[in-house]
Amino acid sequence: MESVCARGGAAIRDLRRLPKAHLHLHFTGSMRPATLLELADKYGVHLPEALRGGEPPRLRATDERGWFRFQRLYDIARSCLRAPEDIQRLVREAAEEDVRDGSHWLEIQVDPTSYAPRLGGLIPALEIILDAVHSASRDTGLGIRVLVAANRMKHPLDARTLARLAVRYADHGVIGFGLSNDERRGFARDFDRAFAIAREGGLLAAPHGGELSGPASVRDCLDDLHAGRVGHGVRAAEDPTLLRRLAARGVTCEVCPSSNVALGVYEKPEDVPLRTLFDAGVPMALGADDPLLFGARLAAQYEIARTAHDFTDAELAELARQSVRGSCAPQDEQQRLLAGIDAWLAG
């Protein structure tokens, strides 16, 4: 279905019908607000006003207080996931939301350590998550894989344990290894051994960088962790040499415009340097990051590119192609999605 745009009354293509891959979505952050309310009531968890719906909070995580508040809200939401059926529900609903937004392939990011205490341990937690992924994929038709992410606020030895676990389940739905949390803390090189374990096990290296810290954190991801993809990476726009390097190597940046604004990285959607990255030839995969907190899912990120940055439909189609090419989807699935993108543009 096409909608009518104010641009001279011309019909424009529905962005929810544009086939795309979703490569930056965090596990708890994918939850529906209504589901969080129900689970909080079920387990007697008191939710602060910022998690009770309404206007998404401006967290200003570029300062210490803002980041602490973001982490506190995320931890409270995560505490409402206590049983296998909660995990099953979260993944199924996240898949349904992605399908509604035109996603045909989802790579969801999770640190199973965070759920292990309530799910019987690290291995049971990951197996419960993977079972939920398989069920949701079967029920919705959405291709779903898992990227296991270490927490850079924890000891690098913990990351090595997670990397070995991720490799162990590489044939059961795990496709990559990441590094999340505040990149202003510690050094990427402290986690180099964990990423070497993951890469040697055939997993994609996809650490966070270039969000709360500047271009140097992206360079660290490339130099120290040999990243094949970078979570966020948007601050690379501040360094033309780095932009050329990302473009030459074809390293996809998982850019999350709504998240960038909510966390105070940029003041407004127009400030997110999508056009700078795109014109420099840096592959991008737009992502929703944590829609539970930021209030916007996948299609909304493409809408930002259209309305705030004047991306044409041909350019939006190219963004969708870049998301597919940057994914770990099998080649036949990628070709099917690329053909669907061409059909959307031709329609």
DSSP annotation of 113 reads G
Instruction: Strands of the chain (E only): list them.
Output: 3-4, 11-12, 20-26, 103-110, 143-151, 174-180, 204-205, 208-209, 229-232, 252-254
Pairing of strands 11-12, 3-4: antiparallel
User: How many other C-beta atoms can be found within 10 angstroms of the C-beta atom of residue 60?
Assistant: 15
Catalytic positions, written as ranges: 211
Closest CA relative to residue 277, chosen from 311, 227, 235: 235
Cα 237 to the chain's mean position, in Å?
Answer: 19
Q: 322 burial class (0-12, 13-18, 19+ CB within 10 angstroms)?
A: buried
User: How many other C-beta atoms can be found within 10 angstroms of the C-beta atom of residue 334?
Assistant: 18
The secondary structure of the chain in percent helix, strand, coil, rounded to multiples of 5, reads: 55, 15, 30
Measure Cα distances from 224 to 60, 109, 129, 148, 238 in Å.
28, 21, 29, 19, 20
